[in-house]
Amino acid sequence: MQINGAMLIGRSEVFGTAGTLNAFNPSDGSTLQPVFGAGDRVEVNRACSLAESAFDSYRETSLGDRARFLRQIAEGLLDLGDTLIERANQETGLPKARLTAERGRTMGQLEMFAKIVEDGRWIAATIDPAIPQRKPLPRVDLLMRRIALGPVGIFGASNFPLAFSVAGGDAASALAAGCPIVVKAHPAHLGTSELVGRVIQAAVASSGFHEGVFSLVIGDGYAIGEALVRHPSIKAVGSTGSRQGGLSLMKLAAQRQEPIPVYAEMSSINPVFLLPTALAINGEGIAKGFAESLALGVGQFCTNPGVVIGIDGHEFERFGAAASTEVNMRSAGTMLSPGIHAAYERGVARLTAVAEMEPLAMGVQLEGSCLGTPALFAIDAKTVMAKPELLEEVFGPVSTLIRCATQEEMFNIATRIEGQLTASIFAQGDDLPLARQLIPILEKKVGRIVFDGFSTGVEVGWAMVHGGPFPATSDSRTTSVGASAIDRFLRPVSYQNLPVELTPIYLQDRNPAHIPQTRDTRFQQP
């Protein structure tokens, strides 16, 4: 499959005329071919209108057809073979092994949502049969199901060119729910996006679906994303990106004539709490795991451990020393883009400039383009309480140890942090009472609590929550990874006294779709 530098609007290949864009190799600073034609409002409007036209037929496709479609996309990604991995490697600087694993994860997500579609629990089919003899009033016949929200606008993420981009988690869950999608490619991996987009485009065609089920638009700057969020046919937005980016999407969506939900994953420092006994038993092992998690993917994970909180004293100092040794040994790595690299350098400089901040360690600096060097700092909890901006995310391989004078200070830090995707607690034996006190604080702050481990490595399963209170995400009621991600794109509709001839198969008494139904408050397996 070839990269033509095009947008994919329904079944058409469209070369934008609002300027040109190139992908860029962060490893060597070179410009990648071909040239892409940037789109504008015109293409966004066309894509959204097509999505609107596709909505009614796509949302009523059979569960089998929709599951097959998702699996076909997964197979298409695999069929791209090295073409995809190589292009993604060139555009992001991420190692091929990581990208191969990410492709596997992306395929796994599509497969999981195919199974979820077939399973049918997402429909929440509910049947309250009439009770004509009820007093004082008869009970009417009432049915409920969940239907797709409508066309969804999706923004590709910089840090996951496959798993959170064109055929990533937002796309898979929205398509599973029955929503056509219009994806805005991340400008840092335009070629990868086009390749993946062509796979979806082909799967739409071979499934016999309306062409408007999928479109891919590209463009630099704010205007094209704004046009997408503002378009009246778009009924929800999915995005993984910066806090600033997420906040502006939220604002745009709230200002629409019809406000719509925005699912933006924004920023997280993923605090790690090291309790005394765990430190005493295995401080060095934890330090090794910490440095690995910190440097993984050059720290460019949403779940990167940005602060580590411990009680000041010998054990925490020993941990700091071991972690410093680990960080000092690790080399700089290529970051995703010059913009991300520059922001990282600014973030580290900002931490360095804080008078109370103690620089603990710095990885091996190398000469080259877009290189981010791991760094470790330490500071006392009192200063952090006075300067809460130190608890804001710096995207990249940097972390700060926070030394608490007392357990009380540790609780204060836990209470002070903003909403996060994750928190980790290392606790052993005598630490359990302390952990038990931390949990209710952290439950209110994060989407996932990890014990005796770091939060990088996000399992795609039914029990996963990759979400959390603001500002980690724009909507704490949801997750962007895992089975519940489909809930974001559904809304309930009920039908009263519906004639049998008009009843959707999911709500029919004889249950021809073989899905779970809740009948008279009881959940019934098919």
The catalytic residues are: 265, 302
DSSP assignment string, 285-313: HHHHHHHHHHHGGGG-STT---EEEEESS
CA angle (339, 159, 307) in 5-degree steps: 85
Binding span for its own copies by CB under 8 A among 33-41, 75-83, 213-221, 438-446: 438-446
Among 65, 430, 459, 509, binds its own copies (CB under 8 A): 459
Among 115, 288, 350, 382, binds its own copies (CB under 8 A): 115
Q: Which residue has the tokens 């002070």?
A: 416
Among 54, 307, 379, 464, binds its own copies (CB under 8 A): 464
d(CA 390, CA 234): 37
Closest to its own copies by CB, 254 or 364: 254
d(CA 472, CA 423): 12
Among 14, 127, 278, 336, binds its own copies (CB under 8 A): 127
Among 78, 140, 342, 364, binds its own copies (CB under 8 A): 140
Interface map 73-102 toward its own copies (x if CB under 8 A): ----------------------------x-
Sign of the alpha-carbon torsion through 110, 111, 115, 118: positive
Asked whether position 386 contacts its own copies by CB under 8 A, the answer is no
Binding span for its own copies by CB under 8 A among 11-19, 305-313, 389-397, 440-448: 440-448
d(CA 392, CA 306): 9
Asked whether position 462 contacts its own copies by CB under 8 A, the answer is yes
Q: Are 48 and 182 in contact (CB under 8 A)?
A: yes
Closest to its own copies by CB, 137 or 386: 137
Asked whether position 121 contacts its own copies by CB under 8 A, the answer is yes
CB of 361 to its own copies, least distance (A): 27
φ, ψ (nearest 5 deg) of residue 272: -115, 120
What is the bridge-based pairing of β-strands 181-184 and 448-451? Answer: unpaired
Binding span for its own copies by CB under 8 A among 33-41, 190-198, 214-222, 250-258: 250-258
Three-state SS at 235: coil
CA 106 to chain centre: 12
**Beta-carbon neighbour count of residue 360 at 10 Å?**
19
Closest to its own copies by CB, 201 or 484: 484
Helix or strand holding residue 249 (H, E): helix 243-255
d(CA 261, CA 45): 20
Among 56, 65, 220, 509, binds its own copies (CB under 8 A): 56
Asked whether position 329 contacts its own copies by CB under 8 A, the answer is no
Among 296, 483, 513, 515, binds its own copies (CB under 8 A): 483
Closest to its own copies by CB, 390 or 435: 435
Asked whether position 471 contacts its own copies by CB under 8 A, the answer is yes
Q: Are 48 and 231 in contact (CB under 8 A)?
A: yes
CB of 491 to its own copies, least distance (A): 5
φ, ψ (nearest 5 deg) of residue 7: -90, 160
Closest to its own copies by CB, 77 or 427: 427
φ, ψ (nearest 5 deg) of residue 139: -90, 130
Tell which positions 402-421 bind its own copies, by CB under 8 A. 419
> 425: which strand partners?
273, 451
Q: Are 56 and 178 in contact (CB under 8 A)?
A: no
Closest to its own copies by CB, 18 or 450: 450
Asked whether position 515 contacts its own copies by CB under 8 A, the answer is no
Q: How many residues bind its own copies (CB under 8 A)?
A: 81
Tell which positions 57-76 bind its own copies, by CB under 8 A. 60
CB of 389 to its own copies, least distance (A): 14
Q: Which residue has the tokens 């199901």?
A: 145
Asked whether position 132 contacts its own copies by CB under 8 A, the answer is no
Asked whether position 222 contacts its own copies by CB under 8 A, the answer is no
